[in-house]
């Protein structure tokens, strides 16, 4: 039997540093748990642009299509700000999402006990928070046509189009209902059906799909009210499903509620491949943080938790994923802190690799 394959795309900024820690964790699971991957590495984003003049080489795209899972660090940085839109680092990531057809983006917002003082909200509002935002990732205003900047009489007009087909809505709704079934069986769908036809269709299709999941309690909210409710009392939610643009905004908001933006992973899933595994890309929610890149200051936890999501969603290793998550909780409870986590309670400052080593030690202790 061949080992499952993992394609690693560290990308830009802090991407390579945090990914180096993930590689240590991957090696640990190989050596200590017999979970061995065929790991290969390639370029994406600005790093790929520097090497090939494109943020994603066709060969890399082909490798991503063939891999059992892709792990990505981060893309972008000020060095690339002046580049033409078509070759910006972000285009590499968007091409991966689109061509792999990764329509369901899972973004957990979880408040770690040891960090519940870090939120800008009161502790009792966020303590124990554990919600999941399912963001549609391959359609909507990010990709709808027509788009562009056109001349109209004497002035220019910028156009983007919000467009959703029934099947695009139904498939992401289904993935959200499936998740809700494995969690608290509560799903809230967010759109702007009061202003947008695409929102009306969204609501109708989600309601239709809900008939396949009678055990799940479905509610609907306008996305603006959803943002308000997320800040007022986020624990009212379990799973939220929403479109590409609202999901982009609401997931940043939800992540920040937890006070641990540098801690949150994500999974982008597509349809099942021939081997039954979903096409999948895992990446931290945070960006490339160019201001601290190369200094050993970055927090590798979001990227390591993204690997935990890969274990759970791509490789059926839910127990091993939980082992890794528990090791991270343990390290945090012990007060081990990268710079971004140094809060009122002090703690033991560590570098990026120091955090990786502490997690390895906690994993050893879990055996
Ligand atoms: C995200 C990011 C991306 C997005 C950017 C980098 C293209 O904000 O993953 O949330 O807008 O989807
Ligand atoms: Mg975003």
Average the pLDDT over each of 157-166, 238-247, 260-269, 286-295 and give the range with the smallest value.
260-269
Stretch 351-355: mean pLDDT: 98
How are beta strands 186-191 and 217-222 bridged, if at all? parallel
Question: Residue 184: pLDDT above 80?
Answer: yes
> Which atom of ligand 1 is nearest the CA belonging to 93?
7
pLDDT of 160 higher than 90: yes
Q: For residue 1, is pLDDT > 80?
A: no
Mean pLDDT of 242-252: 96
Estimate the share of the chain in helix, then strand, then coil, as percent rounded to the nearest 5. 45, 25, 30
Q: Is 90 in the pocket of ligand 1 (CB under 6 A)?
A: yes
| pLDDT band with cut points at 50, 70 and 90 for residue 259 | confident
Q: Percent of the chain scored above 70 by pLDDT?
A: 99
Given a contact cutoff of 8 angstroms between Cβ atoms, the answer to whether 202 and 151 are in contact is no
Average pLDDT of the residues of the chain = 95
Does the active-site annotation cover 357? no
Q: Is 192 a catalytic residue?
A: yes
Specify the pLDDT at position 345. Answer: 67
Q: How far is the CA of 248 from the centre of ligand 1 (A)?
A: 7
- Residue with CA at minimum distance from ligand 1 atom 2: 248
* Cβ neighbour number for residue 363 with a 10 Å cutoff: 23
The per-residue pLDDT for range 68-118, each reduced to its tens digit, is 999 999 999 999 999 999 999 999 999 999 999 999 999 999 998 888 888
Residue nearest ligand 1's atom 8 by CA: 248
- Domains of the chain in sequence order: 1-109+261-367 (3.40.718.10), 130-257 (3.40.718.10)
Instruction: Give pLDDT, residue 281.
Output: 98
CA gap 59, 216 in Å, rounded:
42
Q: Over pLDDT 90: what percentage of the chain?
A: 90
Answer whether 136 contacts ligand 1 (Cβ < 6 A): no
Max distance between CA atoms of the chain, in angstroms, equals 70
Of 88, 248, 282, 313, which one is the catalytic site residue?
248
Q: Of 63-72, 272-281, 291-300, give the lowest mean pLDDT range.
A: 272-281
211-243 pLDDT, tens per residue? 999 999 999 999 999 999 999 999 999 999 999
**pLDDT at residue 330 greater than cutoff 80:** yes
CB 136 within 8 A of CB 104: yes
**Nearest alpha carbon, ligand 1 atom 5:** 90
Which position has the higher pLDDT, 186 or 1? 186
Burial 301-310 (b: 16+ CB within 10 A, else e): bbbbbbbbbb
**184 is annotated as an active-site residue:** no
Centre of ligand 2 to C-alpha 249, Å, is 6
Q: What is the pLDDT of residue 263?
A: 87
């Amino acid at each position: 039997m061949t080992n499952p394959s993992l394609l690693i795309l560290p990308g830009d900024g802090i991407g390579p540093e945090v990914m180096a820690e993930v590689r240590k964790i991957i090696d640990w699971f190989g050596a200590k748990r017999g979970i061995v991957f065929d790991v290969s590495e390639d370029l994406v984003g600005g790093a790929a642009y520097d090497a090939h003049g494109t943020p994603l080489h066709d060969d890399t795209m082909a490798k991503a299509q063939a891999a059992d899972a892709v792990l990505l660090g981060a893309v972008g940085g000020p060095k690339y700000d002046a580049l033409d839109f078509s070759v910006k680092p972000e285009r590499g990531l968007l091409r991966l999402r689109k061509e792999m057809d990764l329509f369901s983006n899972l973004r957990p917002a979880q408040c770690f006990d040891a960090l519940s003082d870090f939120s800008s909200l009161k502790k009792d509002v966020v303590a124990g928070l554990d919600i999941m935002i399912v963001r549609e990732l391959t359609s909507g205003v990010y990709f709808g046509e027509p788009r562009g900047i056109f001349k109209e009489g004497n002035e220019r007009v910028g156009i983007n189009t919000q467009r959703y087909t029934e099947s695009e809505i139904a498939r992401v709704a289904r993935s959200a209902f499936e998740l809700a079934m494995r969690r608290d069986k509560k799903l809230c769908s967010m759109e702007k059906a009061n202003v947008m036809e695409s929102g009306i269709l969204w609501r109708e299709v989600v309601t239709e799909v809900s008939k396949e999941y009678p055990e799940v309690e479905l509610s609907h909210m306008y996305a603006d009210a959803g943002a308000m409710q997320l800040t007022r009392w986020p624990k009212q939610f379990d799973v939220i499903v929403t479109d590409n643009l609202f999901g982009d905004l609401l997931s940043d908001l939800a992540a920040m509620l937890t006070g641990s933006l540098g801690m949150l992973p994500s999974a982008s899933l597509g349809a099942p491949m021939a081997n039954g595994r979903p096409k999948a890309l895992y990446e931290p929610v945070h960006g490339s943080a160019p201001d601290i890149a190369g200094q050993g200051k970055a927090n590798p936890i979001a990227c390591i938790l993204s690997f935990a999501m890969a274990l759970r969603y791509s490789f059926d290793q839910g127990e091993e994923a939980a082992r890794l998550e528990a090791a991270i909780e343990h390290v945090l409870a012990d007060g081990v802190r990268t710079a971004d986590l140094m809060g009122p309670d002090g703690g033991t400052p560590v570098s990026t690799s120091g955090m990786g080593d502490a997690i390895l030690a906690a994993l050893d202790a879990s055996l």
